[in-house]
Amino acid sequence: MPGSSGNRINNFLSVGRKKKLIRFAENMTFDNLFQPRYEEIVEGFEMKGRWHRDFFNNKNDIILELACGKGEYAVGLARKYPDKNFIGVDVKGARLWRGLKTTHEEGLKNVAFIRARINLIEYFFGKNEISEIWITFPDPHPREFKARKRLTSPHFLNSYARFLKPGGIIRLKTDNILFFEYTQDVIRDFRHELLSADYDIYGSGIHNDATEIKTFYEQKWLEYGTKIKYLEFRLGRR
């Protein structure tokens, strides 16, 4: 029938929109999700410098996952390390829903999520409040004029320095070789400390947190034969 293909597409899109709206509504019921308005963020986010005392109720290390998507690393690491705290950050509420849902289904009390743009990240944490950062498959922003938006650009590293503890490790996992090598260039040029770099973490024989947890899309890339890159570094003295 004429137009039947278009109707199927419209119906598919309509179902997708409805699913997102349902997830957004359910997100509002989760007590470990923070999604403040822009004004609340820049005027003084209530949890900044108070995450240990007012949310986690302990003094355990806080590990941050940036561009967390569904929160596979925040949740996976929280299961493995109940004596540590984890916070996932992403702007996509429908993706965060999966991580939030899992934490409540499993009763994980050491995980929180923030829905916000990462360019505002320094407003959420106080000095030395974060012990470690994971950057898991971020948008590589391949065009050179968007280099400043890369989550390992000097601009972002300066932001992280405002709340990362001295000696805190930043871990990057990516499928994009250009972004991976860009990050190594930044580390070298700005005299940060490269701890390790691997162009094929799964072919290296290494078994650690970087290989034990795979995101949904990472598994797909591996099935296509894509090599996953991984590096660790510390910020230089500041």
At residue 166, φ and ψ (nearest 5 deg) are -55, 130
What's the pLDDT at 16?
60
| Contact of 171 with 230, CB cutoff 8 Å | yes
CA distances from 25 to 39, 98, 116, 237 (A): 22, 13, 17, 44
**Is residue 132 situated within a structural domain?**
yes
What's the pLDDT at 11?
52
**Is residue 193 situated within a structural domain?**
yes
For the question of whether the overall pTM of this predicted structure is more than 0.85, the answer is: yes
3-state secondary structure of 104: helix
Residue by residue, DSSP assigns 197-218 as EES-GGGTT--SHHHH---HHH
**Is residue 69 situated within a structural domain?**
yes
- What range does the domain containing 209 cover? 23-234
**Is residue 14 situated within a structural domain?**
no
**Is residue 68 situated within a structural domain?**
yes
**Is residue 127 situated within a structural domain?**
yes
Residue 163 CA to residue 129 CA, distance in Å, equals 6
**Is residue 106 situated within a structural domain?**
yes
When divided into structural domains, the chain yields a total of: 1
CA distances from 199 to 12, 135, 210 (A): 38, 16, 13
What's the pLDDT at 153?
97
* Residue recorded with tokens 């910020």: 235
What's the pLDDT at 5?
56
Handedness of CA 64, 68, 139, 201 (dihedral sign): positive
CA distances from 64 to 44, 88, 134, 160, 167 (A): 20, 6, 6, 10, 15
The tens place of each residue's pLDDT in the chain, 238 residues long, gives 555 555 544 554 455 677 888 888 888 889 999 999 999 999 999 999 999 999 999 999 999 999 999 999 999 999 999 999 999 999 998 899 999 999 999 999 999 999 999 999 999 999 999 999 999 999 999 998 899 999 999 999 999 999 999 999 999 999 999 999 999 999 999 999 999 999 999 999 888 999 999 998 899 899 999 999 999 999 997 5
CATH number at residue 70: 3.40.50.150
Q: Which residues are part of the catalytic machinery? A: 139
**Is residue 5 situated within a structural domain?**
no
